[in-house]
Structure 1
Amino acid sequence: MSVYTILNLATKPCKNHIHNVSKRSLFHWINKQFNALDEDRKKLVGPDRVCAEWILRNGGKVKFVDAFESETDYNNLPKEEVQVKLQEIDATGSSIMANGFEHLKGCNHISKIILDQCSYLENEALEGLSYVKDSLLFLQVSRCGNITEQGLVHLLKLVKLRTLIIFGLPYLKDRKKMLDVLGKGLKTCQITFEE
């Protein structure tokens, strides 16, 4: 039997058997791998570099302390010997997932994070923001379809937060109540919470 015949048979639907793994679960598995933390690499190059690689690998952009512009290309990162300090993360449209938020651990200079149109982001991911609670000043959570009140309540741990922007979360049941909870818990934070 030729390779072509085997491939052809593998892609034909079977009436009595479960068909191939769906595209969604295949992409989910691939994205999960792209989000996994490599502890050995982190020990080798440091948490800030590994975190930047995670964001860039998943389609976001990063800005380092003292850099003029954000970096969008993984191949343009400084050499591994150069110590970097990650300051900003823009994950707009990226494929970051909850299991990747462990990358934030040890990143002590991140002051700004934008989580916009992150379709794989789920509530437990926001709990991972507590790794940067001592440095994070600005956070935007927008148009992430899987985020609900259960996720937003984790933001109460971000005690240094000064600006919080939230919009486009279709599964929030009670925006006013959530705004009240966040307002009482984050007293020194300016909150913009649009429908």
Structure 2
Amino acid sequence: MRNGAHIRWVGQEDFVTHYDNLPLDPEDESVYHIEEIFAKDSSISHHGFPYLRGCTQISRVALIHCTYVNDRCLDSLAYIKDSLHNLDIRSCNELTQNGLLKLGGLGLENLKCLRIGSSSKLKQEDLLEVFQSLQQSLPFCRVELVD
């Protein structure tokens, strides 16, 4: 969130959009688990992705037009492979064909929907090849090409 991403807690409808709105009350004994990450025009990078380790209830992640999201970031999605159901990756211009292809080998067996879109490092034919490959390597998942 410090870098522009939003999170939503399990059982909550609204996203937490500002770092100052995190639950910090020492009297609050509630347990908070992240269920969804929405990063659009965010400056998150590979440095933050290891914090996904131990997060067991993240089911949705959207990475849209994130300038610093690169192939290394996608490797860290393996930390949430058991809970991740929906993944949306678009216009993250540091991503390469090889990075996107690695999604097929991360063990994302619970992934139901993967939406992938263009990147400045991908030609249209490369994106189509990624799409076709991920359809094969993730047969239980609906893979979609989006603008």
What TM-score, normalized to structure 2? 0.89
CA displacement 1:93-134 (0-9 Å, x = unmatched): 111111211000000000000000110111111000000000
Work out whether residues 90 and 146 of structure 2, in 8 Å CA contact, stay in contact via their aligned partners in 1. Answer: no
Q: 2:82: which partner in 1?
A: 134
- The 5 Å alignment of 1:44-193 reads 56-79=1-24, 81=26, 82-156=30-104, 157=106, 158-173=108-123, 174-193=126-145
Quick one: higher RCO (CA 8 Å, sep 6+), 1 or 2?
2
Separation of aligned partners in 2, 1:80 and 1:117: 33
Q: CA deviation at 1:159?
A: 1.7
User: How much identity, in percent, do the aligned residues show?
Assistant: 34
Change (3 A) 1:169 1:190: same
Which residue type is aligned with residue 7 of structure 2?
V
| SS at structure 2 position matched to 1:58 | coil
Which residue type is aligned with residue 189 of structure 1?
C
Separation of aligned partners in 2, 1:87 and 1:194: 23
Which residue type is aligned with residue 127 of structure 1?
D
Q: Which runs of 4+ in 1 moved over 4 A?
A: none
Change (3 A) 1:152 1:80: farther
Q: CA deviation at 1:155?
A: 1.3
Which residue type is aligned with residue 175 of structure 1?
L
Q: CA deviation at 1:80?
A: 5.6
Gap regions ≥5 residues in structure 2: none
Which residue type is aligned with residue 114 of structure 2?
L
Q: Which has the larger radius of gyration?
A: 1
Separation of aligned partners in 2, 1:71 and 1:79: 13
| SS at structure 2 position matched to 1:164 | strand
| Aligned CA-pair RMSD | 1.4
Richer in strand (by share): 2
Gap regions ≥5 residues in structure 1: 1-55
CA displacement 1:50-101 (0-9 Å, x = unmatched): xxxxxx1111100000112111011111126542010000011111111211
Judge which range, 164-173 or 87-96, deviates more. 164-173
